[in-house]
Amino acid sequence: MLGMFYKILKTGIVTEKPADDSEIGQLAPELKRMVDRQFRGSLAIRMVDAGSCNGCELEIHALNNPYYGIEQYGVHFVASPRHADALLVTGPVSRHMESALIDTYQAMPKPSYVIASGDCACDGGEFGVSYASCGAIENVLPVDLKIPGCPPSPAQLMRGLLLLMGQRNPTTLR
Amino acid sequence: MSDTWLSDVKGRFAEARIQLIDEDEQRLAPAHLLRVAPAAWTSAVALCKGLSMRWAAFWAVEQATGFDAFTCLEQEGHYLLLVTSLEEPELDSIAHIYPAADRPQRHTHDLLGIGFRGQLDNRRWTRHQAWNEDDYPLRRDWQAPKSPSPTPPDDSYPFLRASGNAVYEVAVGPVHAGIIEPGHFRFQAVGEKIINLEKHLGYVHKGIEKLAQGRTPDQLTRLAARVSGDSTVAHGWAACMGIERALGVEIPPRAALLRAILAERERIANHLGDIGAICNDVGFSFPLYQLGRLRELLLRENDRLFGHRLLMDRVVPGGVAVDLDQAGQQEMLACCRELESEVAHLIEIMERSESLEDRLMTTGRLTPEWAAELGCLGYVGRASGLDFDVRRDAPYAPYQQVKVRVPGYRAGDVAARAKIRAEEITASLELIRQFIQRLEPGELRSPLPEGRGGQGIGIVDGWRGEIISYLALDETGRVSRFFPRDPSWLNWPALEQLIQDNIVPDFPVCNKSVNGSYSGQDL
Ligand code: SF4
């Protein structure tokens, strides 16, 4: 037990102030302000893998590691679409996930965002449209933001979220 | 190389009057290929089982007329490929001999339309509703419909049912409650106790085998690197190895060492993430954050040294697309030292935690007998008495140059699977150090001959265990068949086995300790 506390103390806080990436540095306070104003301090995201290779998930997971600590901006991932303000989708939409993805979207309270994360989600990526894949998310759902990358790094994901929050007014969304 | 295993096999075949139609040790080396008549298929496979060979893979290839069916078996690092030619798309099932062949056969049926006589389980596996009963997407003459209608949910899959007064059923997925891949689990439980779990996968089927057709080796490698994103180096390597063997290309020694460094880093990164997640699944979040921190540092170093956090597309046909200069080597060595001492310290803290021990020991136990029956791979096998490791037992460059330490246990519980991973981190760090020491200046990539065909097989040890990639190139040098067998094909059935009699709330930790790839098995 003591060993654990000692390790925690010695590690200290590694969470980075966004200043080491100047773009995030400028947008972060804005994101926090937007989340505070429009979502009462908490933006809830439901993540759905609609056919990814799992590379994208690994980097989304990293948003919760101590370096990025995405929760410091009031952004957190939730288990139920009914609790979610935004849907973060990865992968091309495999045909076998098409209806599950649509159901998840429909279970969300509106207005809601749809974010396509990764090259596959943005334009079909390496898999494209085939007998087994519908390709880009926008072929299935209306998409509000695309974050390209294979996979997008946590910094790119944060930038994407910040952009979304900074540019759009969710109350005007569908 | 000892050839007694082969003469054993052939001796038994002769005794049973199984005629060898063809034999070739070169075409798909290091595997030895024996061709038998379809009528002798099951008896040949049964003889291999009698010789305690491990069943590893099944796939089929459409030929100008009919099909070739392949099954791959292994014993002490020797690989045997049994092949048979089918005029009609029909073959006897071998799933009653090797149960792990059940799903690969069903997959082959769904994509190629080969029927398996005597297969007990004839339910579709990879095919849900995206294509019709009599459509076989992998057949050469099959055309996808131009604008298909939306795909209905697969809500009528005939799950096995348990009934009785106190039995209830829990359905989970395909969309899970976290940031994970999609699949469906169906539990039957009594009280807290799980009496049966059945999985329904195939949700992330992206048609990789079809997409591979017609690609150049470079294009194929990009696709192979995305079979399972957490094994991008290993799958990329296996595919490249298949291409290189098909074309008779030797990769430069420096490229082999760099590939191995990348692969070991991939192994470490995944283990760091998973050990933390296993602890977190039983409510002990300290390791999740500490190991998550170390994983992030490793990924950042990947990015600095190799230009990609997950190392995608760094392995290319003929070699590698990256180099590691002197400064990079020094940096990596320093980081390895740091990582080693941090991991040792954290593991010590975890081992001292009695409550963690209480939750992980005896939980999700896979007995050595079941592991052997299913042919489990990687840490799942190694925690249950099967310590097969391609790097040590069927070594490929550069692993012949080093001694690979392979940890092994027999307890088969979550704790053993977690311990193996921790020990593999240390072993991989040792390997990286040795590989860096062996780096000599030299080429990074050998050229590939243009427009030459052939077949090749790549066998590497990914972080989940053995990966087998079969590749065939046509005369123009383009891919005509690609089948990557992810270790998950053999480890998923183990989850259904080891979860029995555990309590429903322990499912997440049991699942995480196996961590099968959905994408890698759905293809
Ligand atoms: S964008 Fe890249 S990492 Fe993400 S799912 Fe597609 S192939 Fe995988």
Residues 60-89 of A with CB under 8 A from B: 60-62, 64-67, 77, 79-80
Residues of chain A contacting B129 with CB distance shorter than 8 Å: 95-96
Mean predicted confidence (pLDDT) in B41-54: 95
Q: Is A163 on the interface with B (CB under 8 A)?
A: no
The CATH number linked to B57 is 3.30.460.80
Q: Do A132 and B130 make contact, defined as CB atoms within 8 angstroms?
A: yes
pTM: 0.95
For the cut 80, the answer to whether the pLDDT of residue B300 exceeds it is: yes
Query: What per-residue confidence (pLDDT) applies to A168?
Result: 53
Q: Is A167 on the interface with B (CB under 8 A)?
A: no
Complete DSSP assignment for B35-97: EE-GGGHHHHHHHHHHTTPEEEEEEEEE-SSSEEEEEEEEETTEEEEEEEEESSSEEE--TTT
| Tens of pLDDT, residues B206-228 | 999 999 999 999 999 999 999 99
What confidence tier does B500 reach under pLDDT thresholds 50, 70, 90?
very high
Ligand 1 centroid to residue A48 C-alpha, Å = 13
Q: Is B273 on the interface with A (CB under 8 A)?
A: yes
For the cut 90, the answer to whether the pLDDT of residue B399 exceeds it is: yes
**Alpha-carbon distances, residue B44 vs A43, A96, B9, B20, B78 (angstroms):** 60, 37, 9, 10, 17
Q: Do B175 and A48 make contact, defined as CB atoms within 8 angstroms?
A: yes
Q: Do B310 and A96 make contact, defined as CB atoms within 8 angstroms?
A: no
Share above pLDDT 70 across residues of chain A, in percent, rounded to a whole number: 83
For the cut 80, the answer to whether the pLDDT of residue B378 exceeds it is: yes
Helices and strands (H and E) in chain B: how many: 17, 15
Bridge partners of residue B90, in order along the sequence: B115
Q: Which residues contact B92 (CB under 8 A, 6 or more apart)?
A: B38, B41, B42, B116, B117, B118
Helix, strand, coil proportions of chain B in percent (round to 5)? 45, 20, 40
Query: What per-residue confidence (pLDDT) applies to A170?
Result: 42
Residue spans of alpha helices (H) in B179-311? 208-212, 217-224, 232-247, 253-281, 286-306
CA dihedral sign of residues B298, B437, B234, B428 = negative
Does residue B154 lie within any of the structural domains? no
Give the residue, by CA position, lying nearest to ligand 1 atom 8: A53
Share above pLDDT 90 across residues of chain B, in percent, rounded to a whole number: 87
CB-based contact A66:B293 (threshold 8 Å): yes
The CATH number linked to B297 is 1.10.645.10
Instruction: Specify the range with the lowest mean pLDDT, choosing from A124-138, B6-20, B453-467.
Output: B6-20
Query: How far B297 CA sits from the closest chain A CA (Å)?
Result: 9
Query: How far B349 CA sits from the closest chain A CA (Å)?
Result: 6
- CB pairs < 8 Å spanning A and B: 165
For residue A45, give the 3-state DSSP assignment: strand
Mean predicted confidence (pLDDT) in A45-69: 94
Residues of the domain holding B282? 208-490+497-514
Structure tokens at B81: 């490929």
Ligand 1 centroid to residue B251 C-alpha, Å = 28
Mean predicted confidence (pLDDT) in A34-38: 79
Q: Do A53 and B346 make contact, defined as CB atoms within 8 angstroms?
A: no
CB-based contact A117:A91 (threshold 8 Å): no
Q: Do A54 and B230 make contact, defined as CB atoms within 8 angstroms?
A: yes
Fold classified for A42-165: Rossmann fold (3.40.50)
Mean predicted confidence (pLDDT) in A19-41: 68
Query: How far A9 CA sits from the closest chain B CA (Å)?
Result: 12
**Alpha-carbon distances, residue B230 vs B123, B462, B486 (angstroms):** 29, 10, 12
Query: What per-residue confidence (pLDDT) applies to B125?
Result: 95
Q: Do B129 and A96 make contact, defined as CB atoms within 8 angstroms?
A: yes
User: Per-domain residue ranges for chain A?
Assistant: 42-165
Mean predicted confidence (pLDDT) in B434-453: 94
For residue A66, give the 3-state DSSP assignment: coil
For the cut 90, the answer to whether the pLDDT of residue B240 exceeds it is: yes
Which residues approach ligand 1 with their CB closer than 6 A?
Answer: A 52-53, 55-56, 90-91, 118-120, 125-126, 150-151; B 226, 229
Quickly tell me which residue has 């329904």 as its tokens: B200
For the cut 80, the answer to whether the pLDDT of residue A85 exceeds it is: yes
Does residue B201 lie within any of the structural domains? no
Q: Do B229 and A94 make contact, defined as CB atoms within 8 angstroms?
A: no
B143-149: long-range contacts (C-beta < 8 A, 24 or more apart)? B144/A130, B144/A131, B145/A131, B148/A95, B148/A131
What confidence tier does A24 reach under pLDDT thresholds 50, 70, 90?
low
Residues of chain B contacting A61 with CB distance shorter than 8 Å: 179, 273
Does residue B199 lie within any of the structural domains? no
Query: What per-residue confidence (pLDDT) applies to A26?
Result: 62
Does residue B397 lie within any of the structural domains? yes
Q: How many CB atoms lie within 10 A of CB B152?
A: 13
Q: What is the pLDDT of chain A when averaged over all its residues?
A: 85
Structure tokens at B161: 């049912």
- Does residue B106 sit in the same domain as residue B212? no
Mean predicted confidence (pLDDT) in B447-463: 94
Distance CA B488, CA B519 (A): 9
Does residue B175 lie within any of the structural domains? no
* B169 in a known ligand binding site: no
For the cut 80, the answer to whether the pLDDT of residue A2 exceeds it is: no
Ligand 1 pocket mutation, candidates A47, A58, A60, A120, criterion most atoms within 8 A of CB:
A120
Query: What per-residue confidence (pLDDT) applies to A173?
Result: 32
Distance CA B104, CA B96 (A): 13
Structure tokens at B28: 């798909």
Q: Is B223 on the interface with A (CB under 8 A)?
A: yes
Beta strands in chain A (DSSP E): 43-49, 75-77, 86-90, 113-117, 145-147
Q: Do A95 and B151 make contact, defined as CB atoms within 8 angstroms?
A: yes
Ligand 1 pocket mutation, candidates A94, A150, A156, criterion most atoms within 8 A of CB:
A150
- Does residue B233 sit in the same domain as residue B108? no
Ligand 1 centroid to residue A127 C-alpha, Å = 9
Q: Do A131 and B178 make contact, defined as CB atoms within 8 angstroms?
A: no
- When scoring B154, B206, B515 by the number of chain A Cβ atoms within 10 A, the one with the most, hence best to mutate, is B206
Domain boundary among B99, B117, B135: B117
For the cut 80, the answer to whether the pLDDT of residue B390 exceeds it is: yes
Bridge partners of residue B185, in order along the sequence: B172, B199
Reported as half-sphere exposure (CB side, CA atoms, 13 A), residue B324 has a value of 29
Mean predicted confidence (pLDDT) in B374-378: 96
For the cut 60, the answer to whether the pLDDT of residue A95 exceeds it is: yes
Q: Is B265 on the interface with A (CB under 8 A)?
A: no
For the cut 80, the answer to whether the pLDDT of residue B366 exceeds it is: yes
For the cut 60, the answer to whether the pLDDT of residue B490 exceeds it is: yes
Query: What per-residue confidence (pLDDT) applies to A17?
Result: 59
CB-based contact A92:A122 (threshold 8 Å): no
Residues of chain A contacting B295 with CB distance shorter than 8 Å: 62, 65
Query: What per-residue confidence (pLDDT) applies to A67?
Result: 84
Q: Do A56 and B229 make contact, defined as CB atoms within 8 angstroms?
A: yes
Bridge partners of residue B91, in order along the sequence: B116
Does residue B264 lie within any of the structural domains? yes
For the cut 60, the answer to whether the pLDDT of residue B375 exceeds it is: yes
For the cut 90, the answer to whether the pLDDT of residue B113 exceeds it is: yes
User: Which chain A residue is nearest to residue B154, measuring alpha carbons?
Assistant: A96
Does residue B164 lie within any of the structural domains? no
Residues of chain A contacting B296 with CB distance shorter than 8 Å: 62, 65-67
Does residue B233 lie within any of the structural domains? yes
CA dihedral sign of residues B346, B347, B352, B358 = positive
Structure tokens at B383: 């925690």
For the cut 50, the answer to whether the pLDDT of residue B182 exceeds it is: yes
Ligand 1 centroid to residue A55 C-alpha, Å = 5
Q: Is A100 on the interface with B (CB under 8 A)?
A: yes
Q: What is the pLDDT of chain B when averaged over all its residues?
A: 94
For residue A145, give the 3-state DSSP assignment: strand
Residues 306-345 of B with CB under 8 A from A: 309-310, 312, 345
Which of B305 and A15 is assigned the larger pLDDT? B305
Q: Do B148 and A47 make contact, defined as CB atoms within 8 angstroms?
A: no
- When scoring B128, B138, B179 by the number of chain A Cβ atoms within 10 A, the one with the most, hence best to mutate, is B179
- When scoring B151, B286, B298, B346 by the number of chain A Cβ atoms within 10 A, the one with the most, hence best to mutate, is B151
Q: Is A15 on the interface with B (CB under 8 A)?
A: no
For the cut 50, the answer to whether the pLDDT of residue B1 exceeds it is: no
Quickly tell me which residue has 């809500």 as its tokens: B155
| Tens of pLDDT, residues B309-343 | 999 999 999 999 999 999 999 999 999 999 999 99
Mean predicted confidence (pLDDT) in B499-520: 94
**Alpha-carbon distances, residue A131 vs B158, B484, B521 (angstroms):** 24, 19, 18
Share above pLDDT 70 across residues of chain B, in percent, rounded to a whole number: 100
Query: What per-residue confidence (pLDDT) applies to A27?
Result: 58
Largest CA distance in chain B: 71
Mean predicted confidence (pLDDT) in B238-253: 97
Domain boundary among B117, B143, B164: B117
Query: What per-residue confidence (pLDDT) applies to A25?
Result: 60
Tell me B141's DSSP state.
T
Quickly tell me which residue has 């104003």 as its tokens: A37
Q: How many CB atoms lie within 10 A of CB B193?
A: 13
Share above pLDDT 90 across residues of chain A, in percent, rounded to a whole number: 56
Distance CA B39, CA B18 (A): 9
Mean predicted confidence (pLDDT) in A84-91: 96
Q: Cis (ω within 30 of 0) for the bond into B30?
A: yes
Query: What per-residue confidence (pLDDT) applies to A164?
Result: 80
Q: Is B190 on the interface with A (CB under 8 A)?
A: no
Query: What per-residue confidence (pLDDT) applies to B450?
Result: 87
CB-based contact B448:B247 (threshold 8 Å): yes
Quickly tell me which residue has 């959905």 as its tokens: B518
Domain boundary among B56, B91, B117: B117
Distance CA B163, CA B155 (A): 20
Query: How far B401 CA sits from the closest chain A CA (Å)?
Result: 31
For the cut 80, the answer to whether the pLDDT of residue A172 exceeds it is: no
Query: What per-residue confidence (pLDDT) applies to A166?
Result: 67
For residue B465, give the 3-state DSSP assignment: strand
Number of domains in chain B: 2
Phi and psi at B195, nearest 5°, equal -100, -20
